[in-house]
Amino acid sequence: MIFGSALFLPFLWSQYGVILMAELTLEDIAKQVGVSRSTVSRVVNGSPNVSDDVRNRVLSAIQETGFHPNAAARSLASQRTRMIGLVIPGSVKTFFTDPFFPQLIQGIACGCNNNDLSLSFFLVGNKDDEKKILPRIAKSGMLDGVLIQSGLPGDPLVEQLIASRIPSVMLGRPEGLNEISFVDVDNIEAAAKATQHLIGLGYERIGTITGKKGNVVTHDRLEGYRKAFANNGRTVEKVLIAGGDFSEIGGYDAMKALLPSKPDAVFAASDLMAAGAVRAVLETGLRVPEDIAFVGFDDIPLESMMKIPLTTIRQPIKKLGIKAVEVLIDLIENGKSPARQFVLETELVVRESCGAKIKRFE
């Protein structure tokens, strides 16, 4: 099934607002602030290529005068629809079960609201969906640009979208597509940070639960786990690596496979998998963190699934969505080349599951 529903962001014009809009122009605002008309236009359209000082002065002038740019007129003049798409390939089931996506979409929606954009979703579940969805996105002329959730390398839909004329930004680093604009976190360094935290606490048999096979995120977070081992002169044991799929049940099954190897700590490549893994441990009568400690990745709300607060890598999910919209606007206004690539910071959030408090008093 293809979901192409749009989130339309209506404009509410008051009687006085219409009068003010008719009396004021971009030139009037530019003259008042002492900048060019094009600079005011960039601020109005949410372009990131404006200094904070100039942006604040323009926005203050707009607020003081009550100026309201006419969105319809802007669209006609620029031949743009002021609508962007969000394509999530091969993730229909995950979209409705993983708390990561609501936070991401909240950030994207915020970015759209800030820039008077409408948003259409396209969830792709199978090959038939791919064939139907590409003409709707790339050839209809209804979208100014597209955000694409990074998935498996070599995804034909992603490659075709990128090859089309429509400006595109990847949510996640694409493998082997160096000329593509993207917004992501440094998954390798973040995973190394998580694993290093467990090493620093003195754990000897540190396992990991990886994500979906073939996924770029899966590869990078496993690489980070290996990097931390190498940095400490340790050898990775294959029996301490179990494959998951970023789901809670995937983490549960992977932990069951790890238990015979007797890990004393586990880095799970997502919080959902960490929640499933903790459940598997507790069912055996073992304790967390006294017997097996855990670190996850994402920092999503898990209160309903875990009684033990989870130590995790916090990635700025909402900020990723907002930034992706800003980058896409830049591509739409200023061209696709060169590629814009942004890597946002992550943070290790220490809670009870890693046993840091217990280790402190040993």
For residue range 101-156, what is the model confidence (pLDDT) as tens digits?
889 999 999 999 888 888 988 877 666 766 677 777 766 567 899 999 876 666 77
3-state secondary structure of 247: coil
Mean pLDDT to the nearest integer, 19-30? 57
DSSP E strands, the chain: 6-7, 83-89, 118-124, 145-149, 168-171, 182-185, 206-210, 241-243, 265-268, 293-298, 311-314, 341-344, 347-349
- Banded model confidence at residue 303, pLDDT cuts 50, 70, 90: confident
Distance CA 337, CA 339 (A): 5
Domains with residue ranges and CATH for the chain: 187-315+348-360 (3.40.50.2300)
- Give CB contacts under 8 A, 24+ apart, made by 230-234: 231/192, 231/196, 232/196, 232/199, 234/199
Mean pLDDT to the nearest integer, 94-103? 82
> Secondary structure of 142-174 in the HEC alphabet?
CCCEEEEECCCCCCHHHHHHHHCCCCEEEECCC
Distance CA 142, CA 144 (A): 7
Name the one residue in this structure whose structure tokens are 């200094």.
Answer: 51
Considering only residues 219 and 150, tell me which one the structure prediction assigns the higher pLDDT: 219
User: What's the pLDDT tens digit per position in 331-351?
Assistant: 998 888 888 999 999 999 999
**Do residues 116 and 80 make contact, with C-beta atoms less than 8 angstroms apart?**
no
Mean pLDDT to the nearest integer, 310-328? 96
3-state secondary structure of 309: coil
How many CB atoms are closer than 10 A to CB 116? 16
Distance CA 238, CA 220 (A): 17
Distance CA 116, CA 155 (A): 31
Distance CA 65, CA 86 (A): 35
In terms of Cα–Cα distance, which of 159, 150, 213 is closest to 183?
150
Considering only residues 310 and 179, tell me which one the structure prediction assigns the higher pLDDT: 310
Q: Which residues pair with 83 in a beta bridge?
A: 118
Considering only residues 61 and 7, tell me which one the structure prediction assigns the higher pLDDT: 61
Distance CA 123, CA 195 (A): 34
Mean pLDDT to the nearest integer, 218-226? 97
Mean pLDDT to the nearest integer, 90-108? 81
Taking all residues of the chain, what is their mean pLDDT, rounded to a whole number?
83
How many CB atoms are closer than 10 A to CB 288? 22
pTM: 0.76
In terms of Cα–Cα distance, which of 220, 212, 288 is closest to 247?
212
